[in-house]
C-alpha cells in the first residue's frame, strides 16, 4: 500500500515473477497475487492496492483481514513520504496493529543521481534523465509532480520514531534491479508468523 505511482505493482511483479517492465501501469482496484516463501513454509496472498487516496472508507474495505503490510513511498517524491502516517493509521484503524515493513522505492534512481549528477537540481535531473517516468505522470495525472528526494535526515528521524513506537523495519528497494525486494517480503512474512496472527 502507499500513494500512487510509488512502484507497488512493479515491486509485486519483481517479487512474484522476477521481472520488471518500464511500462508504467496504474492499478485500478486491487491486483491479487500469491507466492510461497519456501524457507518458512508460508503462502503470501498479496493485495496490490491502488494508490489514489479516494476515501478512507473505500480503501479500508481492502484492508479487512490483512495480517501485515508493505507500505511504500517513492524516494524521488517527498510528498509520498509525507503521506506514510496516513496510510498506516488508516490500516491500523481497520485491522489493528499488524506487522508493517516500510519501503523507500526507486533507490536505483537516487543512487544514479548521486553517482553521476549529485550537483544538479534533482527535479531538472528527473526531467532530463527519466523521460519515461515524466511521460507517465503527464499521461496519467495530467501533470508532472515536484520531484524532490526525501532528505535522509528526515526519513531517519521518522523511522527512529517509528522504530521506538511501533518497530517498523525499513528497506530501500528497487523494483527495477530487485534490490531488497525478496528481503522485504521475507521480512514481512517472518514478522507475520512471529506476531501470532495466523
Determine the pLDDT at residue 61: 77
- Identify which of 90, 95, 89, 110 has the alpha carbon closest to the alpha carbon of residue 162: 89
188 pLDDT exceeds 90?
yes
C-alpha–C-alpha distance, residues 108 and 176, integer Å: 7
Determine the pLDDT at residue 162: 64
Q: Read out DSSP for the chain?
A: -BSTTSSHHHHHHHHHHS---SS-----SEEEEEEEEGGGTEEEEEEEE--S---HHHHHHHHTT---EEEEEETTBHHHHHTHHHHHHHHHHHH-S--EEEEEE-HHHHHHHHHH-TTS-HHHHHHHH-HHHHHHHHHHHSS----BPPPHHHHHHHHHHHHHHT---EEEE-TTT-TTHHHHHHHHHHHHHHHT--
What is the domain count for the chain? 1
Q: Is residue 197 part of a domain?
A: no
Determine the pLDDT at residue 196: 92
Do the strands 42-49 and 69-74 form a parallel or antiparallel pair, or are they unpaired?
unpaired
C-alpha–C-alpha distance, residues 7 and 196, integer Å: 29
- Identify which of 1, 23, 3 has the alpha carbon closest to the alpha carbon of residue 12: 1
Q: Is residue 2 part of a domain?
A: no
Mean per-residue pLDDT of the chain: 87
Taking residues 72-93, report their average pLDDT.
93
Q: Is residue 195 part of a domain?
A: no
Question: For the CA atoms of the chain, what is the radius of gyration?
Answer: 16
Q: 69 versus 28: which is more confidently predicted?
A: 69
Residue 173's domain comprises 8-190
Q: Is residue 182 part of a domain?
A: yes
C-alpha–C-alpha distance, residues 73 and 124, integer Å: 21
Q: 57 versus 134: which is more confidently predicted?
A: 134
Q: Is residue 16 part of a domain?
A: yes
Tens of pLDDT along 149-187?
988 877 777 777 765 566 689 999 999 999 999 999 999
Q: Is residue 180 part of a domain?
A: yes
54 pLDDT exceeds 80?
no
The three cell numbers locating residue 117? 549528477
- If pLDDT is split at 50, 70 and 90, which confidence band does 40 have? very high
Determine the pLDDT at residue 102: 94
Q: Is residue 33 part of a domain?
A: yes
Is the pTM of the predicted complex or chain greater than 0.75?
yes
Strand partners, 32: 47
38 pLDDT exceeds 80?
yes
Instruction: Find the CATH number of the domain harbouring 162.
Output: 3.40.50.300
Q: Is residue 158 part of a domain?
A: yes
Taking residues 1-8, report their average pLDDT.
90
Q: In 10 A of CB 11, how many CB atoms?
A: 26
Amino acid at each position: 500500500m502507499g500513494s500512487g505511482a510509488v512502484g507497488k505493482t512493479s515491486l509485486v511483479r519483481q517479487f512474484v515473477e522476477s521481472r520488471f517492465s518500464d511500462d508504467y501501469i496504474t492499478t485500478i482496484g486491487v491486483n491479487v497475487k500469491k507466492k510461497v516463501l519456501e524457507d518458512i513454509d508460508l503462502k503470501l496472498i498479496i493485495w496490490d492496492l491502488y494508490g489514489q487516496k479516494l476515501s478512507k472508507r473505500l480503501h479500508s474495505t481492502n484492508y479487512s483481514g490483512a495480517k501485515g503490510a508493505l507500505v511504500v513511498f517513492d524516494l524521488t517524491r517527498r510528498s509520498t513520504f509525507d503521506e506514510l502516517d496516513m496510510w498506516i493509521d488508516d490500516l491500523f484503524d481497520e485491522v489493528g496493529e499488524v506487522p508493517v515493513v516500510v519501503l523507500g522505492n526507486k533507490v536505483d534512481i537516487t543512487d544514479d543521481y548521486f553517482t553521476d549528477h549529485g550537483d544538479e537540481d534533482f527535479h531538472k535531473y528527473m526531467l532530463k534523465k527519466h523521460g519515461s517516468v515524466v511521460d507517465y505522470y503527464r499521461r496519467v495525472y495530467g501533470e508532472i509532480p515536484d520531484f524532490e528526494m526525501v532528505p535522509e535526515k528526515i526519513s531517519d528521524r521518522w523511522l527512529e520514531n517509528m522504530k521506538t513506537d511501533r518497530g517498523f523495519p525499513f528497506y530501500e528497494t528497487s523494483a527495477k534491479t530487485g534490490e531488497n525486494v525478496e528481503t522485504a517480503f521475507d521480512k514481512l512474512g517472518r514478522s507475520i508468523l512471529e506476531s501470532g496472527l495466523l
